């Protein structure tokens, strides 16, 4: 049976919460990406755009899939070699980044630059997710969180068309 949007939305939010990521932390990444370009930026606006991104079904599906893989890896339920690859967050795997691109895609090309940038700099919550503490696996989640922030930053930029393309 096809799940309703609101059902998926609820589960996606629960998944993020269960994995220790708050929407405020994602909004902080949006703020970090856009503060130089948008004069009247506020945490409230950033949070609005994060919520807007999370209402998209493609985004919800990506959250469900990626986090499920992280959880199964933590529980050692996958077969090798995939189990080890995801558990060790192997740099050459790359499917975590590809999956998260399905979020960035929703808001057009502006998101790609932000996604690449935030993945390199790893501010705030992304640093924590990448620290590989206590046997936690966030191989998919870190890219998903970065992608939600990049998509929300694009959404915010589209709401402020007076800023030039190059600044978005």
Residues that bind Mg ion (CB under 5 A): 96, 139, 142-143
- Report the nearest approach of Mg ion to the CB of residue 38 (Å): 28
25 vs 143, beta carbon nearer Mg ion: 143
- Report the nearest approach of Mg ion to the CB of residue 97 (Å): 7
114 vs 139, beta carbon nearer Mg ion: 139
Residue 127's nearest CA partner among 138, 115, 116 is 138
- Report the nearest approach of Mg ion to the CB of residue 155 (Å): 23
Residue nearest Mg ion, Cβ-based: 96
- Report the nearest approach of Mg ion to the CB of residue 135 (Å): 16
27 vs 99, beta carbon nearer Mg ion: 99
DSSP code of residue 77: -
As a whole number of angstroms, the distance between CA 81 and CA 127 comes to 26
Beta strands in 42-90 (DSSP E): none
* Distance in angstroms between the alpha carbons of the first and the last residue of the chain: 40
Contact 27, 46 (CB under 8 A): yes
């Amino acid at each position: 049976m096809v799940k309703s949007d609101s059902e998926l939305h609820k589960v996606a939010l629960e998944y993020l919460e269960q994995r220790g990521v708050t929407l405020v932390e994602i909004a902080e990444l949006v703020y970090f990406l856009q503060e130089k370009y948008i004069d009247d930026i506020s945490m409230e606006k950033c949070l609005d755009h994060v919520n807007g991104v999370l209402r998209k079904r493609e985004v919800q599906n990506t959250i469900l899939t990626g986090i499920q893989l992280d959880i199964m890896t933590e529980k050692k339920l996958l077969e090798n070699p995939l189990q080890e690859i995801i558990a060790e967050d192997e740099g050459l795997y790359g499917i975590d980044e590809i999956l998260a691109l399905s979020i960035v895609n929703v808001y057009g090309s502006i998101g790609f630059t932000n996604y690449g940038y935030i993945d390199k700099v790893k501010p705030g919550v992304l640093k924590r997710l990448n620290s590989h503490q206590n046997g936690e696996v966030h191989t998919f989640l870190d890219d998903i969180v970065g992608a939600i922030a990049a998509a929300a930053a694009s959404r915010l930029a589209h709401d402020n068309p007076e800023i030039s393309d190059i600044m978005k």
